[in-house]
Amino acid sequence: MKTPLVAILRGITAKEVDIHIPILIDAGFDAIEIPLNSPDWATSIAIAVKNYGEKTLIGAGTVLDVISVDKLAKLGCRLIVTPNTNSDVIKQAIKYGMEILPGCATATEAFIAIAAGASKIKLFPSSVFGPDYIRALKSVLPPQIQVFAVGGVTPDNLAEYMQAGCVGAGLGSDLYRAGQSAEITKSKALAFIASYQNAKKN
């Protein structure tokens, strides 16, 4: 990812995919996640892959089992994001050549994910642990492992997480809430991109 920010579109409908994803791509996002607890997620992901798969990394979130990974591979999904640490899901995603971003909360879970083949981990929920926890976790992880902050990340605090050692973040309700207008998506997307770019400079 050139811009390692994952737009989490929880609750998006199939009719809204062509409204919001182009805005996010134009703003600078190159990773989109549609969680599997969204309505008719399979249709939404299929549309996203067909219309935007060559422009951005289209992925699925809240992936809990291997069967879901198999279904997503058939849809052309290229990114798997999980809320938990499941070695079987990680290995299956890697088998398909997908990017995998497994959710971890502790050093134990992080090392389980790494042992299964993950090169990136998602610290969730980041707002509960905070930047100091991330610094402590980073101190024991292999240096090549990339950490993404997910949960409670805003344009105002993104820089704090990056200064703590995160390469980027997954952005949920502070970027997109189900049913919001295209104008709100654009405003929030640009705010996050600007925050990321400013953090990279400092």
Task: Kindly name the residue from 16, 33, 99, 120 that is annotated as catalytic.
Answer: 33
Residue 33 is a catalytic residue: yes
Tokens in use for 14?
A: 């199939």
CA 34 – CA 80 distance, rounded (Å): 10
How many angstroms from the chain centroid is the CA of residue 84?
A: 13
Structure-token match 């990017």, residue found: 99
Helix (H) / strand (E) containing 198? helix 182-201
Exposure of 191 in the CB half-sphere (CA atoms within 13 A): 16
Task: Kindly name the residue from 16, 99, 120, 122 that is annotated as catalytic.
Answer: 122
CA 188 – CA 154 distance, rounded (Å): 10
Residue 15 is a catalytic residue: no
Sheet holding 57-61, edge to edge: 99-101, 79-81, 57-61, 31-35, 5-8, 168-171, 146-150, 120-123, 103-104
Catalytic positions: 33, 122
